[in-house]
């Protein structure tokens, strides 16, 4: 029988603004297990709320604590402090993620990132090799692909339709327009055109699980093998037939099973 999950909301004061985070803990375990918690890194339009029930499912299936947070500019966190640049992926790992770790007194962790959050998770694994015990990327991009740009242009057009920006406002409030433009205008810019994950991630030395939907509208199957090559440790890829850009929502059972197998195989 899976444990009951306790959910707790947290506010983290930083020099750049207040960040919102949420943790899910299996009842009766807390920090006593000594197991590294999962840290979830959301996608370009995401936030804690948009992970929906997946974090609780992950905590119940693995018996580990799960922590998700809204990056500054997103969700319930304060507005981004400015200085947004094509280096935003590495900036998140270098400037803002350490504030979360320090506030929550996090030692070892498992990084789990969706879409651009996958690149951020990989960057954290690279920058904090003694702390990150395992890395899981989901629907992550390794470079700026025509397929990615086509999907973003289509999304940009869709958000011009009546009522569409209100969908983002539900989760991001008056930051919604900034959230949309930070995604579309960065990825479609000439400055970002030659970005590759290798420029952001020097190397990874922990086990790596790469999850990708075969029908992902923002990235072809060229991305998983390239991401898998980032690590000097073991790597495993899960390609999900019929799945698009959000495997944890479309096929949560398969994702959870893969994560459990991966942790067992890598002894994490």
Is pLDDT of 252 > 70? yes
- Residue ranges making up the domain that contains 257: 5-266
Question: By three-state DSSP, how is residue 95 classified?
Answer: helix
For position 32, what pLDDT does the model report?
Answer: 42
Q: What is the pLDDT of residues 194-247, one digit of tens each?
A: 999 999 998 899 999 999 999 999 999 999 999 999 999 999 999 999 999 999
Residue 31, pLDDT > 60, answer no
Report the share of the chain in percent with pLDDT over 70. Answer: 97
pLDDT digits (tens, 9 = 90+) for 59-90: 999 999 999 999 999 999 999 999 999 999 99
Reported as a single tens digit per residue, the pLDDT across 38-64 is 999 999 999 999 999 999 999 999 999
Lowest mean pLDDT among 3-7, 186-190, 254-258: 3-7
Report CA-CA distances (Å) from 54 to 57, 166, 184, 198: 5, 24, 26, 29
Name the domain count of the chain. 1
Residue 260: CATH number of its domain: 3.40.50.1820
């Amino acid at each position: 029988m899976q444990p009951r999950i306790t959910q707790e909301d947290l506010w983290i004061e930083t020099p750049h603004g207040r960040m919102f985070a949420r943790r899910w803990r299996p009842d009766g375990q807390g920090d006593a297990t000594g197991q590294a918690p999962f840290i979830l890194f959301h996608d370009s339009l995401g936030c804690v709320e948009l992970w929906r029930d997946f974090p609780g499912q992950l905590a119940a299936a693995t018996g580990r604590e799960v922590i998700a947070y809204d990056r500054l500019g997103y969700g319930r966190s304060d507005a981004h402090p400015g200085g947004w640049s094509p280096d935003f992926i590495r900036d998140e790992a270098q400037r803002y993620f350490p504030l979360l770790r320090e506030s929550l007194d996090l030692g070892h962790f498992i990084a789990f990132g969706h879409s651009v959050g996958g690149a951020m998770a990989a960057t954290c694994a690279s920058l904090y090799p003694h702390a990150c015990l395992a890395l899981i990327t989901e629907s992550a991009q390794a470079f700026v692909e025509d397929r990615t740009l086509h999907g973003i242009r289509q999304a940009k057009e869709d958000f011009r339709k009546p009522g569409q920006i209100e969908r983002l406002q539900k989760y991001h409030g008056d930051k919604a327009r900034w959230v949309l433009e930070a995604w579309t205008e960065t990825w479609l810019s000439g400055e970002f055109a030659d970005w590759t994950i290798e420029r952001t991630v020097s190397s990874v030395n922990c086990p790596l699980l790469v999850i990708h939907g075969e029908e992902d509208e923002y990235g072809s199957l060229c991305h998983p093998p390239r991401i898998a090559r980032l690590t000097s440790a073991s790597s495993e890829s899960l390609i999900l037939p019929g799945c698009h850009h959000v495997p944890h929502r479309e096929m949560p059972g398969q994702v959870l099973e893969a994560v459990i197998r991966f942790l067992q195989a890598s002894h994490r």
